[in-house]
Chains A and B, each alone.
Chain A
């Protein structure tokens, strides 16, 4: 009875409010400037200078202080940033027109010389920038006039625009670099909506609003990035109000946070694929039937639901959907979870059940060695263990060795890598298929040169990938990558498991935040606090 009365009252109130709204102009979603946003994340940056730091802890911070020529928006489209327009002059040269009147945080002007300085420093500095290896055949920048700069590559490079939109290619103030020397890495000077205030190692980094920003000024007064290594403690900090925003939240708590109106869970599919890799050079994984059987043996849905619990989505191929050139490989259709099929394929390949349930052929047990690290990617250890158990169900024994990352990394990079299986994650840093396809599947990229740890070799795929890399016609490139992925789909050397989701949890009072598919692009320029 009371419920009906309450509903009626609410309805009346709603009508009145609506009427009031029609009469008096409602204020626009009242963006309140001011306030401090406290963000907690697990690790401290190594440096705030892209020269020395390309990983997320540093990138999250400097992304708001240093801006590249171009940027990628949340829909993965290239947008102008410090460059207001560009023109492809030749397959190896792109001309950029810079925005006039932009100033660095130290008051010096942004001009072509600054762009040239940034690239020189990155490519030919002592030592060169960490991100130089990400930039492919980037050659440098030439000054045309004060606001016009030509960026050149050593050979035609299809991904050039996406490369120049990467978070780590932000333009730095030459004056500041020359004046501060090493100190620049601890207090960078750029053009972004926020500028540096202080960095207390392993404790926090503080940024403040840049009042002279060329675009829409930031609404927040300050941003504090705090280090809280323990996942549980981060979540508790959110609950006590010690933190407004949590990066890398606990997946197990997401379901209840989503139901709680006090918090908002922002999520979007990211750019990383985590997979169980197969070494196609070591028997029996050189037999495509065995590899196919293994693919059929894995219940990816169960892993996604029970281990990742909504913190990731099923991988639909070897690339993430946000990557340019992505093609859905239809893995659920090509390789559905089917234990019977897996067993049948293994029988076809000549395996019969042994005395303890493990398959064998010619007296040899079907025992695979598996090398992995724990904690490098979300739930990588758990995913590995789950797949190990699933393999057991079809008679394949997997001997997992967990070692720490430094050891595992070294082994993956060595020419003598003899393990059958490995667990790895790969993020397409510049969101362009070339970055993954070339490094992971080209036959010339077998370790120690590159990352083709699976030792995959197919001349057709090699040719397609090389062509696409040199082609500046983006439509053609997309077709070429599509063909390459079709071929790969028929002779899979990976068991792709999931695409990470970029997940950020905030208190409901944090507004204006949109999470970006590229994990490094943590844009705080539009965030405001409704307190």
Chain B
């Protein structure tokens, strides 16, 4: 068993539970903000799963005569420019939000972790090549990327999400690589290697753990960006096709009415914010909970 300086933890802490996960869960539970995040995300998932039963009206049903109705009365959160119920569209839109936020982050991270670790660890020629590819991708205009993906795969939320994921990959790769570089040569890693741990174990246990916080924070922030990028692309006609409800598209089409019926764009915008906030708090909570340096601390 490796010598762990933290054996000398402060007295006065409650008796540390035996396993890491139980310990983590306890710490997580204690953070109020993290619990708020969990609740928000759970609500989102429930909304997405139970949309057909939760939504008060058909999200595609138009009633032109009631266009832009203010919130209150028949339309709890108001109606959009076609007289469609915003609340129902919001609930159905959570599906798109989860898809866009989740899948694009997953794609970006998959690429970033692979290439970033490779570049950071291997160094030398591989690092140079990967970083140059990253630079090419960074310079490539994302609108053109989206058009290319849509041309190849067809329009729609799924394909635009792929495009957004690819767009986010270079930035994430650089972040991961940076974190790997720092962790690779830290004293802890050197100590572990000196004690005989193989390079593989060093990578997994120390480096990845070091990378994780950066990755979590970036992912939760990237999600907001992803939804907004999908919004812009949908507005141009490359994303969600009608009558699909996507929060991003709702915000974009509300743009024309910002000065006469601001609720059309603002309500879905707030929904995006709440969702992003939830993921962020959850992410922060996860990161704090999983950090073993806090083991035994509150």
Binding site for B on A (CB under 8 A): 231-232, 235-236, 250, 252-253, 256, 299, 302-303, 305-307, 372-375, 381-382, 384-386, 388-390, 392, 399-404, 407
Q: Is the CB of B62 within 8 A of A403?
A: no
Q: Is the interface of B mostly helix, strand, loop or mixed?
A: loop
Tell me, yes or no, whether B67 is within 8 Å of chain A by CB: yes
A306 to B257 Cα, complex, angstroms: 13
Tell me, yes or no, whether B30 is within 8 Å of chain A by CB: no
Q: Is the CB of B82 within 8 A of A389?
A: yes
Interface size class of chain B, counting residues whose CB lies under 8 Å from the partner chain: 20 to 34
Q: Which of A299, A306, A375, A400 contacts B241 (CB 8 A)?
A: A400
Q: Pull 21 A–B residue pairs with CB atoms less than 8 Å apart, ordered by A.
A: A236-B259, A252-B261, A302-B64, A302-B65, A305-B64, A306-B67, A373-B237, A375-B237, A381-B237, A381-B242, A382-B81, A384-B242, A385-B62, A385-B243, A386-B62, A388-B243, A389-B62, A400-B241, A401-B241, A402-B237, A404-B237
Q: Is the CB of A252 within 8 A of B260?
A: yes
Q: Which A residues are CB-close (under 8 A) to B150?
A: 403
Q: Which B residues are CB-close (under 8 A) to A402?
A: 155, 237-238, 241-242
Q: Is the CB of A374 within 8 A of B61?
A: no
Q: Which B residues are CB-close (under 8 A) to A399?
A: 241
Q: Is the CB of B81 within 8 A of A232?
A: no
Q: Which of A235, A253, A307 contacts B81 (CB 8 A)?
A: A307
Q: Is the CB of A407 within 8 A of B151?
A: yes
B142-156, CB < 8 A from A: 147, 150-151, 154-155
Q: Is the CB of B242 within 8 A of A385?
A: yes
Which residue of A has the minimal Cβ distance to B255? A232
B93 to chain A minimum Cβ distance, whole angstroms, is 16
Which residue of B has the minimal Cβ distance to A230? B255
Which of B83, B238, B243, B256 has the most chain A CB within a 10 Å cutoff?
Answer: B256
B198-251, CB < 8 A from A: 235-238, 241-243
Q: Is the CB of B235 within 8 A of A253?
A: no
> Ordered nearest first, which 4 A-B pairs have the shortest CB separation?
A402-B237, A306-B64, A389-B62, A374-B237
A381 to B253 Cα, complex, angstroms: 10
Which residue of B has the minimal Cβ distance to A376? B237
Q: Which A residues are CB-close (under 8 A) to B236?
A: 374-375, 404
A-B contacts, CB under 8 A, total: 81
Q: Is the CB of B243 within 8 A of A252?
A: no
A407 to B236 Cα, complex, angstroms: 12
Given the contacts A382-B82, A389-B82, A374 and B62 also touching, CB distance less than 8 Å:
no
A252 to B83 Cα, complex, angstroms: 15
Q: Which A residues are CB-close (under 8 A) to B257?
A: 252
Q: Is the CB of B82 within 8 A of A231?
A: no
Q: Is the CB of A253 within 8 A of B259?
A: yes
Which residue of A has the minimal Cβ distance to B64? A306
A305 to chain B minimum Cβ distance, whole angstroms, is 8
A299 to B82 Cα, complex, angstroms: 13
Tell me, yes or no, whether B175 is within 8 Å of chain A by CB: no
A250 to B155 Cα, complex, angstroms: 28
Q: Is the CB of B241 within 8 A of A389?
A: no
Q: Which of A250, A307, A375, A400 contacts B259 (CB 8 A)?
A: A250
A368 to chain B minimum Cβ distance, whole angstroms, is 14
Q: Which B residues are CB-close (under 8 A) to A372?
A: 237
Tell me, yes or no, whether B43 is within 8 Å of chain A by CB: no
A385 to B64 Cα, complex, angstroms: 11
Given A256-B260, A307-B64, A400-B242, 8 other A-B residues pairs in contact with their CB atoms under 8 A? A232-B259, A253-B259, A306-B83, A307-B82, A385-B243, A399-B241, A402-B238, A407-B147
Q: Which A residues are CB-close (under 8 A) to B256?
A: 231-232, 250, 252
A58 to B20 Cα, complex, angstroms: 69
Q: Which B residues are CB-close (under 8 A) to A373?
A: 237
A86 to B258 Cα, complex, angstroms: 52
B203 to chain A minimum Cβ distance, whole angstroms, is 44
Q: Is the CB of B82 within 8 A of A385?
A: yes
Q: Is the CB of A235 within 8 A of B259?
A: yes
Tell me, yes or no, whether B158 is within 8 Å of chain A by CB: no
